[in-house]
Amino acid sequence: MRAAGPSFRLDGKRALVTGAGRGIGLAIAQAFARAGAEVTLCARTAPEIEAAAAALCAEGLVATALALDVTDVAAFEAAIEARPAFDIFVNNAGTNRPKPLSEVTEEDYDAVMGLNLRAAVFCARAVTRQMVAAGQGGSVINMSSQMGHVGARDRTLYCASKWALEGFTKALAVELGGQGIRVNTICPTFIETPMTKPFFDNPEFRAAVLSKIKLGRLGLVEDITGGAVFLASDASSLMTGSALMLDGGWTAD
C-alpha cells in the first residue's frame, strides 16, 4: 500500500501571527487562513489587523484581530493566557536600523534587540507554556533572516539579533521536542514590503542586493508563505531546530 501524501492543510488548527498588520506577517496570516486555520492577527496597529481579519472573514474564513505591543511582555502573556492554546505560532514582529556600528546608539540597540530578540523570546515563552499545558504539541516558526547566517555592512545590530534568534530556536527545539513542539526558523533574503521599499529606491543599494541573490530578483511576500505553511503543517512533522533558507541563494557562497 502506498503511503498517503503529505498534508499541507491546517484545518482545525489555531494560529497566531505577530507583526501581521502588513508585509510578510499579513501574507502568512492570509495563507494560513486559506489553508484552513483559525488565525489570530497580532500587531500594534488595530485598524490594519481589524481590516485584514474582516477581509478574511468575508472570504468565509476564520480570523480575529489582537491589537497589542509584543514588547509589553506582561500584556502579551495575559492575552495568551486568556485564550486556548495555539497550535501554530509565527514569531514575526521585527525591525531594523541599518547603519555603521560607529553610528549605532543605545536607543538603536534597545529598539532592534528589544523587538527582534527580547520580545521574540518572551512571546515564545508565553505561547509554548500554553502548548505544553494543553499537551497538544505545536509548531513555532521564528522569523529570522539570511542575516542570521552571514554578515553584512551596516547590519551589526540586525545580524546580532538574528544570529541570537537562530541559537534560541535550536535550544528551544531541544527543550520542547519531547512535548511534540517543533521550533524552526524561516530565513528570507531581501523582500519587497512597505518597510523595505524605500531602501530599494536607491539604485546602488538595489544593484548590490541583486548581485548577491543568485536567482537575480528580490523576494516577494508570496515567496515566504509556502515555507510558512509547510512548517506549520504536518508535511514538516519531522523537522525541528532547522532553518529554512528562502534567500534566493544568497548564502550559497
Inter-residue contact 219 to 24 (CB < 8 Å)? no
SS3 assignment, position 98: coil
d(CA 113, CA 118): 6
C-alpha cell at 21: 498588520
pLDDT given for residue 3 in this prediction: 58
Task: Tell me: pLDDT of 160 over 80.
Answer: yes
Look at residue 222 and give its three-state secondary structure. helix
* Catalytic annotation, pick one of 76, 86, 89, 158: 158
Question: For 153-182, b where at least 16 C-beta lie within 10 A, e where not — what string?
Answer: eebbbbbbbbbbbbebbbebbeebeeeebb
Q: Check: pTM over 0.85? Answer yes or no.
A: yes
For residues 47, 78, 71, 127, the Cα torsion angle rounded to the nearest 10 degrees is: -100
Confidence of residue 192 (pLDDT cuts 50, 70, 90): confident
What is the gyration radius of the CA atoms in the chain, in angstroms? 18
| pLDDT tens digits, 50-104 | 999 999 999 999 999 999 999 999 999 999 999 999 999 999 999 999 999 999 9
Superfamily of the domain at 14-243: NAD(P)-binding Rossmann-like Domain (3.40.50.720)
How many separate helices (H) and strands (E) can be counted in the chain? 9, 7
Q: What is the mean pLDDT of the chain?
A: 96
- The per-residue pLDDT for range 105-135, each reduced to its tens digit, is 999 999 999 999 999 999 999 999 999 999 9
Reply yes or no on whether 109 is catalytic. Answer: no
- What pLDDT is attached to residue 197? 83
